[in-house]
Structures are given as C-alpha cells and as structure tokens.
Amino acid sequence: MNRMTTTTMVGSAVTKPLVTALALCATLCGAFSVSVWAHAQAPDTADLAASNLPSVAPMNSSAPRQVEVPSEILVLHATNTGGGIDPELRHLKQLQNPPFSAYNTYKLLNRRSISLVPMQAHSMLLPNDSTLRTVLKAVLPQGRYRVETSIIRYPKEGQGQGGDLPSLEVTASSGEPFFVAGQSFQGGILVVGIQVGKAPERAPGGK
C-alpha cells in the first residue's frame, strides 16, 4: 500500500513539472511558429520600398521621328562654248527648253545629296562664293513639297556690295527638280537645280 502510494506521488511529482514544461514548450514553439509565419507573410523591405517608388513609364519607341526628305542639289555652269550637255544632265529636259536653251553648254560642277527637314535651313557654298539657302516649308499631300530658296552674296573687298538675291518659293513634285539661275560665272552663268524627294529610276546612260 505504501509502495503504491509512493509510486503515485512520484508519478504526480514527475507529471506536473513535465506538463508545465510541455506547456511552456508549446507556448514557445507556438510563438516561434507564429513569428516565422508572420515573417514569411510580411512583404520584403526592398519590395515594400520598391512598391512606394513612383512608376516610370517605359520609353516610347513608337514616338514619331522627325521627317527627313532625301534631296539633291545640282550646280551647273551654263555657257555658249559649244560643248553640249554633260551626259549626266541629259535627262533634264528643262535645259533643252527656254529660257535654259539660250545656252548650248552645260557642265556639272557639283552634285550633292542632302536631307531636308521641315523649317530647318540647309546652306551650301556655291563656286562664286555665294551661299545657297534652302528651306523645306511644308510637306504637302500627293507627294508635293513647298520649298523656299535664296542666294546670299557676301560683300568682298573691292567688289562692291553683297546682299541677297530675291528668294524663290515653289511647290515641287517629288523627284522633279526646279532651277535657280542668273548669277554670272566665268563667261556664263550658274544654274542651280534643287530636287526634293527621290527621283524616278532612269535607264542606263542617263536617258
């Protein structure tokens, strides 16, 4: 009887501290689990900081580009020296009609490919030291362009005053040159051809 009572008392003595320890362990483990779960569910600090940053729109790769019109400038020397028309110029029928037919010789001095941008002046030095200024004023429907051109003559020592020649504004079809003429040069005149837009394909030989 006494032995059984002792055993029970020992069991009770062992059980109570054990239950207490288990409870404490459960409490701590539960707290630890909750803490780990809460940390796992909380947003990362870097993510939170990033979420508070102002959004930046991506670069718009489809933004309209500035219009550039491929063009060409021809500088010709017209005389009456019986030399005929350069083979590279024979496709220019305008040179065979008045007033250009008043000269029987046309020599190509310079040919330059350029790009014209609306409302931006393009300048080019001419053989007589004057400056050709070309401005694309407008891109029109049906492949046409409004172009303004002028020639600036700067004064030279012993050669009188300079000054600008009257400006010329034309509406030109794409690939069809127009001409500015009249400046004296080496026994003849300079004729400047301005072609805005691409010229039609020509047959071999310039015909």
Please, what is the average pLDDT of the chain? Answer: 75
- Write down the pLDDT at residue 182: 85
Angstrom CA distances, 30 to 23, 38, 42, stand at 10, 12, 18
pLDDT per residue as tens digits for the range 57-114: 455 555 556 889 999 999 999 999 999 999 999 999 999 999 999 999 999 999 999 9
pLDDT per residue as tens digits for the range 186-198: 999 999 999 999 8
Question: Contact 189/181 with Cβ under 8 angstroms?
Answer: yes
pLDDT per residue as tens digits for the range 155-179: 765 555 555 678 999 999 999 999 9
- AA letter at 108: L
More confident residue, 170 or 52: 170
Task: Give residues with Cβ within 8 angstroms of 204, minimum separation 6.
Answer: none
Unique residue bearing structure tokens 């219009």: 67
- Write down the pLDDT at residue 72: 97
Element (H, E) at 43: none
Q: Partners of 69 in the beta sheet? A: 116
